[in-house]
Amino acid sequence: MVATTAKPTARFYPTRNDLSASVREQVVTVLNQSLAATLDLKTQTKQAHWNVKGKDFYQLHELFDEMAGELEEYVDMVAERVTALGGTALGTARMAAEQSILPEYPVDAVSGADHVTALADRYAAYAKHVREAIDATDELGDADTADLYTEVSRTIDKRLWFLEAHLISE
């Protein structure tokens, strides 16, 4: 089950959305947890982008930047789904740091392999969270949010594959 440790949203607003207030509140809690993790993963991916060194620098620098851009789109999708359900998106850097399910990024990562390993670990944890969110929101009867998570899941799994491919030695 998805962790629901996110603080309650600051406020709910009236909406004509036909999901019950109880369902919307539960879904918004899951979404805000995802918002925190997605923001955190995006900034950790940018950390790798800025700091990667070594023979594969340019390739990884570009890959990490592309991955961070995808995550930025998901940040917006998740936050806008929160507000579409009448909730308040909890998306500041401090809120994300406090609520993220991801471990802190290793500041001593230097080589491409260091960064790829660190990101693969985090993408795997995030992918698990997203799959749990698919199940949780589906069980709550919110097919639209489950579908949003399914879209995110496909991309995250693809990026995890890309990262893991770099870790295979011949």
Please spell the DSSP secondary structure of 1-50, one letter per residue: -----SPPPS-------SS-HHHHHHHHHHHHHHHHHHHHHHHHHHHHHH
What pLDDT shows up at residue 13? 86
Calpha distance 114→100 (Å, rounded): 22
Considering the domain boundaries, does residue 8 fall inside one?
no
Instruction: Note the pTM of the prediction, 2 decimals.
Output: 0.92
> Structural domain of residue 130, as residue ranges?
21-166
**Are 36 and 99 spatial neighbours (Cβ–Cβ below 8 Å)?**
yes
pLDDT of the chain, 170 residues: tens digit per residue = 565 554 544 688 888 988 999 999 999 999 999 999 999 999 999 999 999 999 999 999 999 999 999 999 999 999 999 999 999 999 999 999 999 999 999 999 999 999 999 999 999 999 999 999 999 999 999 999 999 999 999 999 999 999 999 998 86
Considering the domain boundaries, does residue 7 fall inside one?
no
Burial class (CB in 10 A: 0-12, 13-18, 19+), 76: middle
Q: How many domains does the chain have?
A: 1
Considering the domain boundaries, does residue 45 fall inside one?
yes
What pLDDT shows up at residue 85? 97
Considering the domain boundaries, does residue 28 fall inside one?
yes
| CATH code of the domain in which 48 resides | 1.20.1260.10
